[in-house]
């Protein structure tokens, strides 16, 4: 699919003008106003001084362009990383100061690389199907090109034709040829790696006035539009801007998306790249920011690291460019204040101006309840975030029913995670990885990412027969997704969202409904969780809740394996869970409550039980000889049945003050939780609180139409409602 207005040359190539230099992120005409802005706007000047510090440090050090040999985190890897940042910084410092020493540094270092790169083979530490030359993986080589080409673009006019030829033929073209020829299938991937690869080759193409490179970057190596930058824009984002690999990887991909879009706009404005797909890049940035916790950390879905937050380097460029192309958004100025950095561009100038005008108290960023569709056409499930409370006391409930998420996806259909006042209450593990820490397998993803973190049992969702969704097969998972059933975020009584996953297990239907509501007596939001499972044959169903904190009490008796432990199972992630205790059989249906303490707050999970319910207390860390995983606890609710309804309540209650040495409200407020009805037509559950009200949730199981009327009989009494659900205080 081509952009409207795309100028075509014979043979299907794209017509690109050949402007002067710089021509990538900024143009020659923008340099003057940027210089003037340094004296006017403190944040722009601070950004420049930071770049100058990086460049001056590099200039004052012996130039080092070592032969690559080390994995991530070790010397040669880190030195080449420092070098590409220094090349970009020095180039920008030359444009701002016109001091020739910065241009000479860029020239000399790129000449050294032009001697090194042509003789390189695959990196000695490469372990993937896309090995790099300078780094262990080609992705990092793309990072090098994206930053180094900016330095080259900045000093281009200072170089002789012979120097340009040597640098281009020795440094940039060999890597671009390697990406597009030797790693052709990798380059054509619709994936965050493919975005970085297209950006590296495309920015190089524009800087070198090489039409063939530009065409391949935009439309793939076959120039057919099935891959390349335009295909990435078409396929990686839903119409709402949700990025299919999850928010952690949206953060990483937004940098090359915005950098290359800016380059395209500066060279071929007729393509109107920032208007593409109804301003998809604007939506992508907005959705990525919404998918952060109150402390700015990205929700750790799929292969994510929990430490990454919205001050990350990759978002700085996106925000600056967004201000230029989509207009000022003052709600982002609080984030800018935290980042304390811009990019030196017209957009960065606009951000600096807005920040100066806003002063020390910019508008606060507003996180709201959202539902995002997944998939290029919005038909591959989605992600819901329900939020309640003031920003500093906000409760967030994340419900994931997306597509798989490409190679970084997890087998976690209908999983949930929960945060309260910034704290992770019910966790998604994320990835098992120590980023760039050489001692942990060179900073790569560790084996337990596949053997545990991506498996279904690692998530707060139902596992059938100790197997992962789709048999743990990525190719199968990529053809399936969750199914949005309904969502209502506007109901003042409760925010309710519901989704299904009927293809995750053969012959088993999964349907989960979550309601986030506030009871006037307790004052704190509660979660009512209704998870319905149906099958024609008997299965073992496990529903884990991974909680954060110290166990305080349980309402059920259990046998503790305090002197010896065994793994809970042998495969599909179960081998990594210690079985620490199991409940004793109960004679009558009732409730099971587990209460824990995290910081100043008590939390409880309460679930309705029957005589077949087994409860297991487990802990991550079994079969982990290198201690790669965090030893965190879980409550697992186990049932053997054909059809099963897991009804649970998650609540925050009471408080603990270690300074005053006081504790109050450590007991759960749930008095009764009963499944009143489960039929093909509807499921009805009733919740009674000790202090507060009694609530009833009825969910339509077969028709979620807004005008559809439902009528069922509950305890001999008719119950009627219109629409997909009814949530009512009795």
What is the distance of C-alpha 720 from the center of its chain? 40
Q: For the beta carbon of residue 118, count every other beta carbon within 10 angstroms.
A: 14
Exposure string of 211-231, with b = 16+ CB inside 10 Å and e = fewer, is bebbbbbbbbbebeebbbbbb
Map residue 567 onto helix, strand or coil: strand
* Catalytic machinery residues: 249, 408
Question: What are phi and psi for residue 305, nearest 5 degrees?
Answer: -105, 135
Exposure string of 17-36, with b = 16+ CB inside 10 Å and e = fewer, is eeeebbbbbbbeebbeebee
- Which tokens is 74 given? 């070790």
- Which tokens is 677 given? 């009805």
Which among 217, 224, 250, 226 is positioned nearest to 236, based on CA atoms? 250
Q: List, in order, residues 6 or more apart from 131 with CB less than 8 Å away.
A: 122, 123, 137, 138
The one-character DSSP state at 547 is B
Q: How far is CA 533 from CA 5, 275, 511, in A?
A: 51, 44, 6
What is the distance of C-alpha 122 from the center of its chain? 30
Strand partners, 426: 418, 547
The one-character DSSP state at 434 is -
CA dist., res. 673 & res. 663, Å (int): 26
Rounded to a whole number, what is the distance in angstroms from the first to the last CA of the chain?
54
The one-character DSSP state at 297 is B
CA dist., res. 245 & res. 195, Å (int): 13
CA dist., res. 217 & res. 211, Å (int): 10
CA dist., res. 42 & res. 65, Å (int): 35
- Does an H or E element contain 78, and which? helix 75-97
Which among 620, 618, 612, 616 is positioned nearest to 637, based on CA atoms? 616
Is residue 666 within 8 Å of residue 552, measured between CB atoms? yes
Peptide bond into 22 cis (omega under 30): yes
């Amino acid at each position: 699919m081509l952009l409207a207005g795309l100028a075509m040359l014979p043979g299907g190539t794209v017509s690109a003008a050949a402007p002067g230099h710089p021509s990538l992120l900024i143009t020659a005409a923008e340099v003057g106003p940027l210089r003037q802005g340094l004296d006017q706007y403190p944040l722009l000047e601070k950004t420049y001084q930071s770049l100058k510090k990086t460049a001056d440090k590099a200039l004052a050090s012996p130039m080092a362009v070592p032969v690559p040999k080390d994995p991530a985190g070790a010397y040669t890897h880190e030195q080449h990383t420092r070098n590409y940042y220094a090349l970009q910084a020095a180039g920008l410092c030359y444009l701002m100061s016109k001091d020739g020493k910065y241009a000479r540094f860029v020239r000399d270092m790129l000449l050294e690389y032009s001697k090194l790169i042509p003789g390189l083979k695959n990196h000695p530490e490469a372990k993937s199907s896309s090995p790099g030359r300078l780094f262990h993986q080609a992705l990092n080589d793309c990072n090098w090109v994206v930053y180094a080409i900016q330095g080259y673009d900045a000093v281009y006019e200072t170089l002789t034709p012979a120097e340009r030829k040597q640098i281009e033929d020795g440094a940039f073209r060999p890597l671009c040829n390697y990406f597009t020829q030797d790693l052709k299938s990798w380059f054509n991937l619709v994936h965050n790696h493919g975005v970085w690869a297209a950006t590296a080759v495309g920015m190089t193409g524009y800087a070198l006035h090489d039409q063939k490179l530009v065409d391949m970057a935009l439309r793939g190596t076959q120039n057919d539009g099935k891959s390349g930058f335009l295909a990435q824009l078409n396929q990686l984002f839903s119409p709402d801007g949700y990025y299919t690999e999850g928010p952690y990887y949206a953060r990483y991909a937004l940098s090359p998306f915005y950098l290359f879009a800016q380059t395209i706009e500066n060279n071929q404005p007729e393509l109107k790249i920032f208007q593409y797909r109804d301003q998809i890049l604007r939506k992508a940035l907005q959705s990525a920011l919404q998918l952060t916790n109150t402390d700015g950390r990205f929700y750790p879905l799929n292969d994510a690291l929990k430490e990454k937050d919205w001050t990350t380097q990759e978002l700085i460029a996106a925000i600056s460019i967004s201000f230029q192309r989509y207009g000022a958004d003052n709600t982002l100025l609080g984030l800018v204040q935290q980042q304390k950095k811009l990019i030196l561009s017209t957009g960065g100038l606009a951000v600096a101006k807005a920040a100066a005008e806003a002063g020390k108290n910019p508008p606060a960023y507003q996180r709201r309840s959202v539902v995002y569709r997944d998939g290029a056409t919005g038909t591959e499930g989605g992600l819901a975030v329900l939020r309640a409370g003031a920003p500093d006391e906000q409760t967030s409930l994340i419900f994931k029913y997306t597509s798989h998420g490409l190679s970084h996806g997890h087998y976690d259909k209908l999983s949930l995670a929960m945060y309260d006042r910034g704290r992770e209450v019910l966790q998604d593990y994320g990835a098992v990885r120590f980023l760039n820490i050489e001692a942990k397998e060179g900073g790569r993803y560790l084996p337990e990412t596949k053997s545990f973190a991506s498996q279904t049992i690692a998530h707060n969702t139902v596992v059938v027969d100790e197997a992962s969704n789709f048999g743990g097969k990525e190719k199968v998972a990529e053809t399936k997704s969750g199914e949005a059933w309904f969502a209502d975020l506007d109901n003042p009584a409760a925010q309710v969202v519901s989704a299904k996953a009927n293809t995750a297990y053969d012959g088993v239907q999964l349907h989960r409904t979550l309601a986030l509501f506030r009871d006037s007596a307790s004052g704190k939001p509660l979660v009512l969780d209704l998870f319905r499972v149906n099958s024609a044959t008997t299965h073992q169903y496990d529903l884990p809740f991974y909680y954060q904190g110290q166990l305080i009490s349980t309402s059920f008796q259990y046998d503790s394996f305090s002197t010896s432990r065994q793994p809970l199972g042998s495969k599909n992630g179960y081998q990594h869970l210690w079985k620490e205790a199991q409940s004793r059989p109960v004679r009558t249906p009732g409730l099971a409550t587990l209460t824990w303490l995290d910081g100043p707050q008590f939390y409880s999970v309460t679930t309705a039980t029957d005589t077949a319910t087994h409860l297991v207390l487990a802990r991550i860390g079994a079969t982990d000889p290198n201690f790669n995983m965090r030893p965190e606890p879980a409550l697992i609710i186990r049932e053997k049945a054909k059809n099963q309804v897991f009804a649970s309540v998650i609540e925050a209650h009471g408080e603990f003050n270690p300074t005053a040495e006081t504790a109050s409200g450590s007991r759960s407020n749930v008095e009764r939780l009963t499944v009143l009805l489960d039929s093909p037509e509807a499921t009805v559950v009733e919740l009674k609180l000790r202090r507060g009200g009694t609530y009833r949730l009825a969910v339509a199981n077969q028709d979620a139409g807004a005008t559809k009327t439902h009528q069922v009989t509950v305890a001999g009494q008719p119950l009627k409602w219109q629409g997909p659900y009814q949530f009512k205080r009795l």
